[in-house]
């Protein structure tokens, strides 16, 4: 919540707030956030957050997410590099996940590839993962 003084300068009362992308909103681009981010609308692009990123039940995100924690109740398609990734019931991730902790709740969906943070994080497309069958 913000308050305004008589000279119209903004005085912030919460330095660790949450940025919300509401349902019905579509954004394309890049977001750099130190606060929590909650997405109920559509976002396409890159998200870099030092805090939590939550994709709500109606949220749809495509692209890259780097954050401390990612919670998916909606849909995410892309690549994520987070300390913790949680897929909630009816949430869905299609893509690549690099994380220390991957939690998939009952009725949550994950289609893709996961790697442990700090190991070789280069994703190898399936066509390059073949043996010598000559």
Separation CA 4–CA 47 (nearest Å):
29
Task: Provide the whole-model pTM.
Answer: 0.78
Per residue in 1-29, pLDDT (tens digit) is 344 444 444 333 344 689 999 999 999 99
Residue 62: which of 48, 72, 76, 52 has the closest Cα?
76
Contacts of 110 (CB under 8 A, 6+ apart): 87, 92, 93, 97, 102, 104
The mean pLDDT of 117-128, rounded to a whole number, is 63
Per residue in 35-65, pLDDT (tens digit) is 999 999 999 999 999 999 999 999 999 999 9
* Dihedral sign (CA 86, 65, 27, 37): positive
pLDDT higher at 4 or 129 = 129
pLDDT for the residue numbered 3:
43
- Domain borders along the chain are 18-109
């Amino acid at each position: 919540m913000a308050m305004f003084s008589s000279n119209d300068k903004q005085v912030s009362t919460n330095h660790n707030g949450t940025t919300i992308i509401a349902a019905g909103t579509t954004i394309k681009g890049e977001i750099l956030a130190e606060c929590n981010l909650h997405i109920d609308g559509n976002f396409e692009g890159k998200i870099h957050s030092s805090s939590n990123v939550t994709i709500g039940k109606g949220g749809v995100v495509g692209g890259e997410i780097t954050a401390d924690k990612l919670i998916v109740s909606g849909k995410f398609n892309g690549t994520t590099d987070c300390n913790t990734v949680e897929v909630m019931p009816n949430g869905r991730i299609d893509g690549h996940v690099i994380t220390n902790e991957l939690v998939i709740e009952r009725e949550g969906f994950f289609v893709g590839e996961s790697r442990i943070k700090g190991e070789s994080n280069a994703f190898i497309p399936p066509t390059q993962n073949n043996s010598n069958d000559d």
